[in-house]
Amino acid sequence: MISFFKKILRGYVIIILFYFVAVVLIIDNFFKKQFLQIYISNLKNICFSMSLPITEFLISKNDAKLDEFIKNLRETLQIRTTIVSCDGVVLFDSHHEKTKMENYSSSIEIIDAKEKGFGYSVRYCSTLRKEMLYVAVPLRDNKEDILAILRTGYAMDNLKININRFIHRILMITIFLCILVLFLSIFLSLSFTKPINKLIGGIQKIMSGDLNTEITIDASNEFSFLVESFNKMVKKINTLLSEVSLQRDKLKNIFNSLQEAVVLIDKDGKIILYNRSFEKLCRISPNNEKFYWEVLVSYKFDEIIKKAFSEKKNLVEEIEIENKTYLVSCSNVSEKEIIVLLYDITSYKQLQNVKKEFISDVVHELKTPLTSIKGFLETLYEEEKNLQYKRFIEIAIFNTNRLINIVNDLVTLSYLEKIEEKKDLVEFEEVDLLSILESVKNIFETKIKQKKLDFIIEIKTDLKPIKADRFKLEQVLVNLIDNAVRYTEKGYIKIIVEQNQTETKIVVEDTGVGIPKEYHERIFERFFVVDKARSKKTGGTGLGLAIVKHIINLHRGKVFVESSPNLGSKFFVLLPNNPFLS
């Protein structure tokens, strides 16, 4: 890599060379032309200064004196002087016998002198056998008539010698200046790069781990400010690194004190980071690079990790490790890394099982007595004549029916949960959705007429039979429509069904009281009701939607709600046409 000094020096050298070349080109083009113009101007002035005496000699026809005058000019001015008649015949010449000279009527300088009053040309002279510069002016009498043409000539060899002398001087001065500038540029480059090199040295020391580096330079310009800022930056880095180190140790202690096992895994399956809880769970030695499948042998765990990387989304699933149940939570840290948390939920699962068994036992114990109580109450109601007592018995029968409904729903829910825990699928058969819809419509026909509601079934696409448990699917629609009827006082209840190649969508829409957004997830929990007073009044158990969710889960589908207060509700049920393929 080229050093900064060399780059600067190279820049100066390029500028100097550019300047030198520019000078040479200017001299070659501009000065040569300028010199030529100067000599043309000098010869022109000489012509004009000689024109008066020569004109007088011509008018007086004093050829001897004119010839002597011209030859004297040759010695004093070292120029060739020629007087040419208007028709191009040489009358006098300072260097040759006029009789032996050619006619100059076609010469450019002669033609221009006659036509324009002045002419010049640079051409090879066959008489002198060299290149000459010729300048010509007309000689006029008192009437301004042209008597003859005065032409002066100067050898281009002499002109070139003078030009070359001048160019040589200019080039020598230029070379001297270039060398001087080069030495100055070297000095300036060194003075400029010296503090930079010190900075580079300081940076290299910091990179090697020496954070106590301090740079000093003998300067009072921008570099001193830069060095001072650098030293302050190093001190600040030292302070920040100390703080980061403290924070890192603090985070490490917190990380290792977590009860949950935490592990960071890269895309190749290598364990990047883990805490003590994971170390204890997998019985691995510290600071030992391993792959997760080497320390945690679990087919389900392996599936979860691969799924988290492939789907690039957060996952939460349960796994069994050495007779313990763990909740595994996977979150994507980046495209190449995921963090995995393993919560030990064994105690929670045991408590849930005890709770379920207790509810199951209580339900079975209550079912028979409640049926008996209902029977006795109905008998009393039929035989009782007192209207007030009959009203009391009606209330007792209503609440008994509510308890029986709760017991029945709990039995159903317990049964569904057991199926889910065992991961068994329901017995699926080909089910005709239209027949289920007709059956459900018949069940609620009376209630809907009593409340004066419109009941609409809208089929958007052709429906093919799907694989499902007919009884349980019917129970889903019964529970959803039952809720819609309970909470809708006016308007309509609509069932919309549409189907594609892989999925069937059922929407149960009503114009009832609606559900606030914060309860959209919780309404599928057991015993949760938004309006408890209304639920008791209508005889709701708070278990209907929980049963719906469990049945849909068994069918490997989805259920969710869209609703706002006083704007009705839409319950969406998404079912795969064949759960075995989903």
Return left, alpha or beta for 349; rule: phi > 0 is left, psi -120 to 50 is alpha, else beta.
alpha
- How many other C-beta atoms can be found within 10 angstroms of the C-beta atom of residue 354? 10
Domain at 319, CATH number = 3.30.450.20
Domain at 563, CATH number = 3.30.565.10
Q: Do 524 and 428 lie in a common domain?
A: yes
* Residue 213 · residue 224 · CB < 8 Å: no
Q: What confidence category does residue 1 fall into, taking pLDDT thresholds of 50, 70 and 90?
A: very low
Q: Do 432 and 488 lie in a common domain?
A: yes
Q: What is the pLDDT of residue 511?
A: 92
**Helix pair 156-207, 4-26: axis angle to 10 deg:** 170
Q: Which residues lie below 8 Å from residue 360, measured CB to CB, with a gap of 6+?
A: 410, 411, 414
Range in 77-81, 209-213, 506-510, 523-527 with the lowest mean pLDDT = 209-213
The answer to whether residue 158 is domain-embedded is yes
Mean pLDDT in residue range 13-34:
71
Q: Do 230 and 121 lie in a common domain?
A: no
Q: Do 230 and 118 lie in a common domain?
A: no
DSSP 113-133: HHHHS-EEEEEEETTTTEEEE
* DSSP 8-class letter at 29: I
For residue 404, pLDDT beyond 60: yes
Q: Do 123 and 145 lie in a common domain?
A: yes
Q: What is the pLDDT of residue 413?
A: 66
Kindly report the backbone phi and psi dihedral angles of residue 68, in degrees, each rounded to the nearest multiple of 5, phi listed first.
-65, -40
Range in 103-107, 295-299, 422-426, 520-524 with the lowest mean pLDDT = 422-426
Q: Do 449 and 559 lie in a common domain?
A: yes
Mean pLDDT in residue range 528-555:
71
The answer to whether residue 185 is domain-embedded is no
For residue 575, pLDDT beyond 70: yes
Percent of the chain with pLDDT over 70: 82
* pLDDT tens sequence across 158-174: 777 777 777 778 778 77
| Token reading at 570 | 């839409």
* Residue with the larger pLDDT of the pair 187 and 575: 575
Q: What confidence category does residue 9 fall into, taking pLDDT thresholds of 50, 70 and 90?
A: low
Residues 563 and 67: their CA atoms lie apart, in Å, by 127
Q: Do 7 and 140 lie in a common domain?
A: yes
Domain edge (last residue) among 164, 197, 221: 164
Q: What is the pLDDT of residue 146?
A: 80
**Helix pair 156-207, 32-60: axis angle to 10 deg:** 160
Helices (H), 258-345: 276-282, 292-295, 299-311
Mean pLDDT in residue range 466-479:
87
Domain edge (last residue) among 347, 382, 406: 347
The whole domain housing 432 covers 423-576
Q: What is the pLDDT of residue 217?
A: 63
Percent of the chain with pLDDT over 90: 6
Q: Do 30 and 123 lie in a common domain?
A: yes
The answer to whether residue 531 is domain-embedded is yes
**Three-state DSSP state, 150:** strand
Q: Do 157 and 295 lie in a common domain?
A: no
The answer to whether residue 6 is domain-embedded is yes
Residues 53 and 71: their CA atoms lie apart, in Å, by 14
For residue 509, pLDDT beyond 90: yes
The answer to whether residue 231 is domain-embedded is yes
For residue 561, pLDDT beyond 80: yes
The answer to whether residue 200 is domain-embedded is no
Q: Do 24 and 102 lie in a common domain?
A: yes
The answer to whether residue 385 is domain-embedded is no
Helix H or strand E encompassing 562 = strand 558-563
* pLDDT tens sequence across 172-223: 877 787 788 777 777 776 676 677 777 777 777 777 767 667 666 665 566 6
Mean pLDDT in residue range 136-148:
82
Helices (H), 78-155: 108-116
For residue 395, pLDDT beyond 70: yes
Is pTM beyond 0.75? Reply is no
* Residue with the larger pLDDT of the pair 2 and 462: 462
* Residue with the larger pLDDT of the pair 420 and 429: 429
Q: What is the pLDDT of residue 573?
A: 93
> What's the structural domain count of the chain?
4
Q: Do 321 and 452 lie in a common domain?
A: no
Output the average pLDDT for the chain: 79
Residues 553 and 555: their CA atoms lie apart, in Å, by 5
Q: What is the pLDDT of residue 536?
A: 54
Query: How open is the CA angle 228-229-232, to the nearest 5 degrees?
Result: 90
- Cα→Cα distances 97→71, 82, 107, 133, 506, Å: 12, 11, 19, 20, 127
The answer to whether residue 311 is domain-embedded is yes
SS (H, E, C) 489-514: CCCEEEEEEEECCCEEEEEEEECCCC
Range in 71-80, 98-107, 219-228, 448-457 with the lowest mean pLDDT = 219-228
Mean pLDDT in residue range 226-248:
81
Mean pLDDT in residue range 212-240:
72
Residues 537 and 542: their CA atoms lie apart, in Å, by 12
- How many other C-beta atoms can be found within 10 angstroms of the C-beta atom of residue 360? 17
Q: What confidence category does residue 506 fall into, taking pLDDT thresholds of 50, 70 and 90?
A: very high
Q: What is the pLDDT of residue 531?
A: 63
Q: Which residues lie below 8 Å from residue 92, measured CB to CB, with a gap of 6+?
A: 63, 66, 67, 70, 81, 82, 83, 98
Q: Do 243 and 290 lie in a common domain?
A: no
Q: What is the pLDDT of residue 48?
A: 82
Range in 293-297, 373-377, 396-400, 413-417 with the lowest mean pLDDT = 413-417
Residue in the structure block whose two tokens are 């301004």: 144
Q: Which residues lie below 8 Å from residue 40, measured CB to CB, with a gap of 6+?
A: 120, 133, 135
**Helix pair 470-486, 544-554: axis angle to 10 deg:** 150
Kindly report the backbone phi and psi dihedral angles of residue 573, in degrees, each rounded to the nearest multiple of 5, phi listed first.
-120, 120
Nearest to 15 by CA among 169, 192, 185: 185
Domain edge (last residue) among 319, 347, 375: 347
* DSSP 8-class letter at 524: G
